[in-house]
Structure 1
């Protein structure tokens, strides 16, 4: 490896980032160890990338370019380039603005490099910008270890972004499932409270029972439990639990996983277990659905990143299904409780043989009727999601 002169890094001394003696020691160390001075400046002396790039830009008299894996490099610029030649000469084409091709280069003034660029990347105008040696190496690794149509460098960032998007949606769905569990817990308190009120009402008509003298404490405890359960349930009911239901749940889920369509394996179809939209959507995503065949094996992480996204999409679908079922369970719990208390009110009336119905019996039947109606409001949207939205998949 050729020893680098101090000239490109003199700007660091002029800007008081380093003193001349430290720079000289760094260059001698790099020569002895067979590495570039840039590596020592960045990773051992703690020089910032921007400071080093500014010094290089002043030395070469051009703008600098910093590595960004989100940069969408056009395929036509790097298709067919020889990675070994790029590493040796230290350059990579990164952008095309109109007829101008922007090239990142370790030494923008090198005549051999400029001639190689003109032969390999035809263009009307070239703009050479200085870049760090490791930045150029990253561009080469990202874009030339895959087939030309696949932009591997920026793909991992996109995949990570979509995994985060799906994770946010799954977190939202988990919060809704927790709210449904809280609502069911509140309903249990309300159910216990109403049951104790009914028991107290019966005990007032029975004199030969050991619990009859305690009907008032039982009534007060029942009222307290029913009040706590009702207040907590209404608090949960008011807290925007209307989002993950029927069409909205399905639409948001499909938007979260739509990006995986470009990674589907058409030769490995999976049939849906039923006619529900979410089941059909899940069947469209095979268990392992990566189409990248990484060469060399160092690009296996991109292969695994795609697979993680496919599995994340499946978890998102499953999370939507669990949320739908949680909503249905909440509705069924309310329906079951409502029917039970309507029946309890009628049974107490028949048991006591009173006419007309007493206040407690009306209270039990009225509460049961309200629970039944509210339960249907929870359950029916989940029912429609399972059986009534199959046509949405064909859009």
Structure 2
């Protein structure tokens, strides 16, 4: 799952600011579940069952919703997009990941932390992440790309894992281009970061 946020990254020596309070993962999930119920994507009884199914930790809630209760991916992504007030970026096999952005990053680390730089246009980098409000992930992104403006989109766990698998298959040596222009247009990630619909600005 993913959010879009605009962040002006500072140098690696910058100190971490005080942690802003944010909703717990349970609160975020409940908000998204309420949205899915409201849209008629799942019943209240199935929501309760899905939460119970995921409590033992053997399978995450996203997987339960998608695979056991057949919640459409686009519906779940849309609910996340509404919650985070940013675009949802689904997996698309036509995407070509910009390998230059991955040169200093370990794919196993990215898979564990569930974020991925997608493309760069000038000083603007689009980053896909499961939780754009996660302070630690945001700090890691800014430390990795100091001085760049970071723009987030929210994505599903399985989509991010597929993107990472795609990047691994494409290889990480040399520049292999950027995300296809048509996909960028489809998800409306325009380079104008001061757009009302562009996302949330954060500065150190």
Given the two structures, how large is their TM-score scaled by the length of structure 2? 0.66
3-state SS of 1:18 partner: coil
Q: 1:1-395 to 2 correspondence within 5 Å? A: 5-32=29-56, 34-144=58-168, 146-149=171-174
Alignment partners' CA distance in 1, 2:92 and 2:32: 23
* Structure with greater helix percent: 1
Say if 2:115 and 2:129, in contact at 8 Å, map to a contact too. Answer: yes
Say if 1:6 and 1:27, in contact at 8 Å, map to a contact too. Answer: no
Say if 1:102 and 1:126, in contact at 8 Å, map to a contact too. Answer: yes
Residue 329 of structure 1 corresponds to none
What's the Cα RMSD here?
2.3
* Structure with greater strand percent: 2
Say if 1:9 and 1:56, in contact at 8 Å, map to a contact too. Answer: no
**Greater relative contact order, per chain length (Cα 8 Å cut-off, separation 6+):** 2
Say if 1:101 and 1:123, in contact at 8 Å, map to a contact too. Answer: no
Alignment partners' CA distance in 1, 2:55 and 2:44: 17
Say if 1:86 and 1:92, in contact at 8 Å, map to a contact too. Answer: yes
- In structure 2, stretches of 5+ residues that fail to align are 1-24, 180-204
3-state SS of 2:55 partner: helix
Residues 258-301 of structure 1 deviation map (CA, whole Å, 9 limit, x = unaligned) = xxxxxxxxxxxxxxxxxxxxxxxxxxxxxxxxxxxxxxxxxxxx
Task: Give the direction of change, closer, same or farther, for the CA distance of 1:32–1:15 in structure 2 (3 Å limit).
Answer: same
Alignment partners' CA distance in 1, 2:86 and 2:172: 32
Residue 212 of structure 1 corresponds to none
Task: Give the superposition deviation at 1:110.
Answer: 0.5
Task: Give the superposition deviation at 1:17.
Answer: 1.0
3-state SS of 1:32 partner: coil
The count of residues paired between Structure 1 and Structure 2 equals 151
Q: Pick the structure with greater CA Rg.
A: 1
Runs of 4+ in structure 1 deviating by more than 6 angstroms, as ranges, are none
Given the two structures, how large is their TM-score scaled by the length of structure 1? 0.36
Task: Give the superposition deviation at 1:147.
Answer: 4.1
Say if 2:100 and 2:172, in contact at 8 Å, map to a contact too. Answer: no
- In structure 1, stretches of 5+ residues that fail to align are 155-395
Alignment partners' CA distance in 2, 1:99 and 1:92: 17
